[in-house]
């Protein structure tokens, strides 16, 4: 089955071309993220208080779902096909030969797990135990797309053991000076022994894929992506943001908005020797304004930073959806010529992301452009 224009139903090469079909996450069945070697969730500003475990309260889930459903309505009102994850019981504990975990997490952030690279769907290895099976709520969609057109390929990246040896537990207790000392070595909570990556550490720029080395993506993960994608005509560029001591997912740090324009995080500059790739190819880097919420004003159980403010969803090279209270960002984008649509989304924050995280694009217009010739 192809589209009217002959392209495959799964077809997306960058983060900004006109969006035609997208998956929006769901908070149904969501649980609190458990403490594990790859994650030390904390109650905001009260690190000594025990972090809750098990299912999130129904009212917390209902409020997030209301905002996710509203996003889906806005997208549909723009003619975009919206798909949703299947129900999944995240309260089930997991036991594998290598680890056990008391519950799983949620299907709010498909972007963390799934990525469309051209006509290929890739399921990431993931980096945390509670997210090991997080691809499952999307499998019905993957099968449907894969069956629909032989041009669509589907790759499951190698699953790491997530055994204790895969993690560097002492990472969580390093004092700031130790982090600073190690910042150029990019040593985080995952070691380099197994292939590890979350899909949300990648940005797509046509033939070029930018991958952040982070707490959730290691150098072996980037090597795997290079060896998988480069023979298929892509170029994979590792990037680093050395002032981010807890990096996880690039979409609150480096956000391409249209050809030639990237929204950047003023607290997390790109490593100096990596800037040239962009500036020498005429890309303008524009700093995002200070978020409306400070870190301490973020929701109590939210593990993400205030920079969820810049986790926007582009639905075309001229239209961006932003969280409704981020007025300074709306003004910046409007001044740069964008149409800004807004939706309330703060009740989704404690589920790990904002608008970009909570979506996975299946189809956008456009082709494999060479934007870094
Ligand atoms: N999942 C996106 C969170 C990134 C950040 O906290 O900056």
pLDDT tier at 5, thresholds 50, 70, 90? confident
Angle at alpha carbon of residue 128, lines to 59 and 155, rounded to 5° = 105
DSSP 179: H
Total number of residues shown for the chain: 373
Q: Is 241 in the pocket of ligand 1 (CB under 6 A)?
A: no
**Is residue 211 lining ligand 1, measured as CB closer than 6 Å?**
no
Strand-pairing partners, residue 58, are none
State the distance from the centre of ligand 1 to the C-alpha of 134, rounded, in angstroms: 18
The whole-angstrom separation of Cα 151 and Cα 293 is 44
pLDDT digits (tens, 9 = 90+) for 210-257: 999 999 999 999 999 999 999 999 999 999 999 999 999 999 999 999
Rounded to the nearest angstrom, the distance between the alpha carbon of 294 and the centre of ligand 1 is 14
ipTM of the complex: 0.95
Which residues have CB under 8 Å from 179's CB, separation 6+?
A: 245
Confidence of residue 289 (pLDDT cuts 50, 70, 90): very high
Distance of CA 308 from the midpoint of ligand 1 (Å): 6
Pick the more confident residue, 308 or 186.
308
What digits encode the pLDDT tens for the residues 7-43?
Answer: 899 999 999 999 999 999 999 999 999 999 999 999 9
SS3 content of the chain, % helix, strand, coil (to 5): 30, 25, 45
pLDDT of 262: 98
The CA distance from 351 to 364, in Å, is 26
Listing from the earlier edge strand, what are the strands of the sheet with 81-83?
81-83, 19-24, 359-364
The CATH code of domain 19-364 reads 3.75.10.10
Best residue among 265, 298, 308, 357 to mutate for probing ligand 1, ranked by most atoms within 8 Å of CB? 308
Q: How many Cα atoms occupy the beta-carbon half-sphere of 131 within 13 Å?
A: 29
Can you give the residue ranges of every domain in the chain?
Answer: 19-364
DSSP string of 14-45?
A: BSSSPEEEEEE-B-TT-BPPPPBTTB----TT
Which of 350, 351, 341 is closest to 297 using CA atoms? Answer: 350
Confidence band for 1, pLDDT divided at 50, 70 and 90: low
CA separation for the pair 339, 321 (Å, rounded): 9
pLDDT score for 73: 98
Mean pLDDT of 269-296: 97
252 ligand 1 Cβ < 6 A: yes
Cite the active site residues: 198, 249, 357
H/E element holding 362?
Answer: strand 359-364
């Amino acid at each position: 089955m192809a589209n009217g224009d002959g392209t495959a139903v799964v077809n997306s090469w960058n983060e900004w071309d006109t969006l035609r079909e997208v998956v929006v996450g769901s908070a149904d069945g969501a649980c609190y993220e458990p403490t594990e070697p790859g994650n030390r969730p904390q109650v905001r500003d009260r690190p000594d208080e025990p972090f809750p475990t098990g299912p999130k309260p129904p009212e917390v889930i209902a409020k997030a779902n209301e905002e996710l459903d509203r996003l889906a309505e806005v997208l549909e009102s723009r003619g975009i096909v919206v798909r949703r994850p299947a129900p999944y019981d995240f309260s089930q504990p997991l036991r594998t030969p290598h680890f056990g975990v008391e519950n799983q997490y949620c299907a709010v952030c498909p972007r963390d797990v799934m990525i469309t690279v051209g006509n290929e769907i890739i399921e990431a290895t993931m980096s945390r135990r509670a997210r090991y099976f997080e691809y499952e709520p999307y499998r019905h969609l993957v099968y449907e797309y894969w069956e629909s057109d032989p041009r669509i390929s589907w790759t499951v990246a190698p699953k790491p053991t997530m055994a204790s040896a895969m993690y560097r537990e002492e990472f969580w207790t390093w004092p700031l000076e130790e982090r600073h000392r190690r910042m150029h070595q990019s040593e985080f909570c995952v070691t380099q022994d197994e292939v590890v990556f979350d899909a949300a550490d990648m940005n797509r720029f046509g033939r070029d894929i930018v991958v952040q080395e982070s707490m959730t993506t290691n150098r072996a993960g980037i090597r795997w992506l290079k060896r998988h994608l480069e023979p298929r005509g892509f170029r994979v560029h590792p990037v680093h943001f050395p002032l981010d001591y807890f990096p996880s997912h690039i979409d609150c740090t480096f956000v391409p908005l249209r050809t030639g324009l990237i929204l950047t995080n003023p607290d997390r500059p790109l490593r100096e020797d990596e800037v040239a790739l962009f500036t020498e190819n005429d890309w303008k880097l524009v700093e995002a304004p200070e978020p409306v919420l400070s870190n301490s004003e973020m929701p109590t159980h939210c593990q993400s930073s205030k920079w969820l403010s810049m986790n926007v969803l582009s639905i075309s090279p001229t239209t961006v959806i932003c969280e409704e209270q981020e007025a300074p960002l709306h003004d910046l984008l409007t001044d740069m010529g964008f149409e800004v649509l807004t939706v309330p989304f703060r009740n989704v924050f404690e589920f790990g992301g904002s608008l970009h995280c909570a979506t996975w694009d299946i189809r956008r217009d456009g082709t494999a452009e060479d934007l870094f010739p």
